């Protein structure tokens, strides 16, 4: 091989190397990145489809739960809802053999656009550990749309036989949404 053909071969190899680098930089890397982004997008869409299918599968249960919540929500009338809460506390206390005192209802509404508000009730209950546990169980298992938010348990004697349970319970009140002209 003579020098001229060797120079031509080296020039050809250099041009080929430059073309490969340019091809890698401007063609192969963007295509690879595009392919990876496409695969990620497909995976995200498949995940969303699976979540949607799961929601469709649970539709009946969710609708049944919502119907039960609507049926067991406190009434929309302020005094009647407070009366429902008071009667519920009396029933829970009687069933659990505890003394309920200091019941303080307070209304909480996040905004006028919301279709619900909550009746927060703070109360103190006195009794033994087993009766207070039964009292909490009565609240949680009751079909009335109320949930326990805060619980504080303190002892009233040195042996711990007489306890005080301070709690905050929230009750759901559904309010019909007003339309544009103010009618419900």
Q: What confidence tens digit (pLDDT) does each residue in 70-109 have?
A: 888 888 888 898 999 999 999 999 999 999 998 898 888 7
The CATH number of domain 73-174 is 3.30.70.60: yes
pLDDT higher than threshold 70 for residue 123: yes
Measured CA to CA, the distance from residue 46 to residue 178 in angstroms comes to 39
Q: Which of 142, 137, 167, 162 is nearest to 87 (CA)?
A: 142
Percent of the chain scoring above 70 in pLDDT: 92
Phi and psi torsions of 167, nearest 5°: -145, 160
Q: How confident is the model at residue 172 (pLDDT cuts 50, 70, 90)?
A: confident
Instruction: Compute the residue count for the chain.
Output: 184
111 vs 86: which has the higher pLDDT: 86
Residue bearing tokens 């949680």: 140
- The span from the CA of 104 to the CA of 117, in Å, is 17
User: Which run of H or of E encompasses 125?
Assistant: strand 116-127
Tell me the CA distances in angstroms from 28 to 13, 23, 39, one per residue in order: 20, 6, 16
> Tell me: the pLDDT tens digits for 5-50?
888 888 899 999 988 898 888 888 888 999 999 999 999 999 999 9
How open is the CA angle 93-96-98, to the nearest 5 degrees?
55
C-alpha closest to that of 73 among 173, 181, 183:
173
Q: What is the pLDDT of residue 175?
A: 76
Are the C-beta atoms of residues 170 and 149 closer than 8 Å to each other? yes
What's the mean per-residue pLDDT of the chain? 87
For the entire predicted model, the pTM comes to 0.62
Please name the residue that has the structure tokens 């709690």. 167
């Amino acid at each position: 091989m003579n020098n001229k053909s060797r120079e031509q071969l080296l020039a050809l190899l250099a041009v080929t190397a430059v073309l490969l680098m340019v091809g890698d930089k401007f063609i192969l890397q963007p295509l690879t990145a595009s392919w990876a982004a496409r695969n990620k997008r497909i995976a995200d869409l498949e995940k969303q489809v699976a979540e949607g299918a799961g929601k469709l599968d649970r539709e009946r249960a969710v609708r049944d739960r919502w119907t039960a919540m609507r049926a067991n929500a406190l009434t929309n009338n302020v005094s009647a809802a407070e009366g429902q809460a008071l009667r519920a506390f009396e029933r829970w206390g009687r069933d659990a053999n505890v003394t309920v005192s200091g019941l303080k209802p307070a209304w909480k509404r996040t905004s006028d656009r919301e279709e619900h508000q909550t009746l927060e009730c703070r109360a103190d209950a006195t009794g033994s550990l087993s009766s207070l546990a039964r009292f909490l169980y009565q609240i949680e298992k009751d079909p009335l749309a109320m949930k326990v938010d805060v619980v504080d348990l303190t002892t009233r004697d040195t042996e711990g036989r007489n306890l005080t349970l301070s709690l905050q319970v929230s009750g759901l009140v559904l309010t019909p949404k007003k339309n544009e002209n103010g009618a419900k």
